[in-house]
Structure 1
Amino acid sequence: MYTPELEIEKYNFKLLNILKKDLNGSFYLKNRILRTHTSCFQNRFLKNYFLNNNIFNIGKVFRNDFDSTHLPCFYQIDFITKKTIKTIFEFLLKFFSNLLKKKFFFKIRKTKFPFTINSFEIDIFNKFDWIEIAGFGESNKNILLNNLFKKKIIAGGIGLDRLYFIFKKNKHIKNNYD
């Protein structure tokens, strides 16, 4: 599903239960924001469609962040599904294993995202450091209520640039674009 890169705050923050806006980490243009995640598509999708299938969205994300594993613009896959958390764990680990074509060490951390509850992150060990590669959890009840959606769903995201960074064994994530 297509969602705009130049977003309104309502979809980027409010409807996703993000109460605290990160003014230093976001890029603003007049009364719009360059989206800080592709999770905005959840509200547009849930308002307009029934969730009968697994849905995903791929898009650019913009954050004021730059170091060896972060870029100010990167690609993210977001998904929503009726599957279980255990099924998502298994699918993601199999997906990463097939994509990276090698054995890898991973850890699963319990975390907090404003738009999910019972949230988890998957980190992969790369060059003596852990890199967050995916995050997911049950959609926050407020998001479901805002959209008059009554069924429990799982929502999550995967950092494509970081996967490619690990796959290519780059020293700096900017080398993805050389």
Structure 2
Amino acid sequence: MIERIGQIRAEAEAAICAAGTTAGLEELRVRYLGRKAELPNLLRGVAELDPQERGAVGRAANETRQALETLITDRGAQLELGELRERLAGDRVDVTLPATPPAPVGRLHLLTATRREIEDVFCGLGFTVVEGPEVEFVHYNFDALNHDPAHPARARTDTFYVEAPADPHGGEVLLRTHTSPMQIRAMEQQPPPIAIIVPGRVYRRDSDATHTPQFHQIEGLAVGEDVTLADLKGTLLAFAKAIFGDEREIRLRPHFFPFTEPSVEADVSCFMCADADAHAPRCPLCKGTGWLEILGSGMVDPNVLGAVREHGYDPERHQGFAFGLGVERIAMLKHAVPDLRLFYDNDLRFLRQFG
């Protein structure tokens, strides 16, 4: 039996050394060391041998098995290295091939780019960007901002009310109709002086070429002991020049907003017809007026400051200005977009024109 073990070893070693592939080597491993191979069967039969022969046969069989396992491992490493070299040689990159077109470069949506541009302007003027909740309490959205209880904006035909935990101030819960509620929230958290802008989404029941149920606003608020209407006009003029061009001028027209007194609407001189007297009648943008409405603003109503008196805002000592603008409105004017709904249609032919 020892002689047969020697024959198996010699035969297996020769075959393993001659193996040309890892797959062929695996077949040899199964042939000589697999469960049904002759050598493992000899090992299983050692217990049946004469005790005088059992030790010598067992040692010879184990030595042969270990030697073959080592030889297979070494030969396998050699074959794997050779196969890897062959693959690398076949996969060599041809540097003369033409380059493939790059993937399209992403860009910001026009509304996002416009919002960031506006934020940069006001941050440069010393304002801080803050954000607030889109699901809001009636107290912050209307009551604390001096809205009359019968104001039409409170109607369910104009505002989205939602089912939610009760307002601790006793009112209902809604989707905010403007970013102005953060005026109150910010003043509750920060004593005067304060200068903030509040970008965000707002919601109203309205939908046509110039209105959507959800749109974007940026609120502005500045309160201190010596803030005047002249400061408001200077701030808005700086904004208009930065967004629409250095040649622009603004005008303020009397208006009404519940939370400002006096209230004004701000217009910017038309940037499509530089000489309004000569070109305005033919201008498709300003329709012959020479001016474009851009936002509403005014001096903060004392009743609004009175709502946060306990937080350090005294209507007798402090005054300030506030303004609110629509991001879509600014983008439509600046880029001559005819229909607000184009911003939300996700038409790449439109979006690729910007950025």
Mapped partners of 1:172, 1:104: distance in 2: 24
Cα distance between partner residues in 1 of 2:222 and 2:191? 11
CA distance in 2, matches of 1:93, 1:105: 7
Q: Residue type matched to 2:155 in 1?
A: D
Q: In structure 1, what residue type is equivalent to 2:193?
A: N
Q: Name the TM-score, length of structure 2 as normaliser.
A: 0.46
- Please show how residues 54-133 of structure 1 align to structure 2 within 5 Å: 54-82=195-223, 83-101=227-245, 107-124=251-268, 126-128=285-287, 132-133=293-294
Once residues 170 and 108 of structure 1 are traced to their aligned partners in structure 2, the CA distance between those partners, rounded to angstroms, is 25
Change (3 A) 1:172 1:36: same
Partner of 2:326: 159
CA shift in 2, pair 1:53/1:115, >3 Å = closer
Q: Using the TM superposition, give the Cα deviation of residue 132 of structure 1 relative to its aligned residue in structure 2, in angstroms.
A: 3.5
What is the CA distance between 1:109 and its match in structure 2? 1.4
Matched residues, percent identical?
A: 31
* Alignment counterpart, residue 29 of structure 1, candidates 162, 168, 182: 162
Bigger mean CA deviation after superposition, 154-163 or 121-130: 121-130
Are the equivalent residues in 2 in contact too, given 1:164–1:176 (CA < 8 A)?
no
Once residues 176 and 51 of structure 1 are traced to their aligned partners in structure 2, the CA distance between those partners, rounded to angstroms, is 38
Asked whether the equivalents of residues 221 and 320 of structure 2 are also in contact (C-alpha less than 8 Å), the reply is yes
Amino acid at match of 1:163: I
Relative contact order: is structure 1 or structure 2 higher (C-alpha 8 Å, sep ≥ 6)? 1
Pick from 124, 140, 150 the counterpart of residue 301 of structure 2: 140
Task: Tell me the TM-score normalised to structure 1 length.
Answer: 0.88
Which letter maps to 1:27?
A: F
Between structures 1 and 2, the one with greater helix share: 2
Shift of 1:169: 0.6
Greater alpha carbon shift after TM alignment, 63-72 vs 128-137: 128-137
Pair 50,89 (structure 1): closer, same or farther in 2 beyond 3 Å: same
Amino acid aligned to 1:85 = L
Q: Which amino acid aligns with 1:17?
A: N
Structure 2 runs not aligned, ≥5 long: 1-129, 164-171, 271-284, 348-355
Single out whichever of 122-131 and 38-47 deviates more from structure 2.
122-131
Deviations 1:68-112 (A, max 9, x none): 222221111111114322222232123223212375675421011
Greater alpha carbon shift after TM alignment, 93-102 vs 66-75? 93-102
> 1: CA distance between counterparts of 2:338 and 2:139?
37
Question: Partner letter of residue 143 of structure 1?
Answer: V
Could you say which residue in structure 1 is the equivalent of 2:20?
Answer: none
Matched residues in 1 for 2:247 and 2:210: separation?
21
Secondary structure of the residue aligned to 2:261 is: strand
Largest Rg, 1 or 2: 2
Contact 2:286 2:292 in 1 (8 A): no
CA shift digits 1:129-164 (9 cap, x unpaired) = 775321111111111111111111111112111001
Number of aligned residues = 178
Aligned to 1:15: 144
Q: Distance in 2 between the 1:105 and 1:86 partners?
A: 14
Structure 1 residues 102-111 or 42-51, which shifts more? 102-111
Query: Deviation at 1:166?
Result: 0.8
**What letter matches 2:323 in structure 1?**
G
Instruction: Report the Cα offset of residue 123 of structure 1.
Output: 3.1
Cα RMSD, aligned residues only: 2.1
Q: Distance in 2 between matches of 1:62 and 1:131?
A: 24
Mean Cα displacement is larger for which, 105-114 or 133-142?
A: 105-114
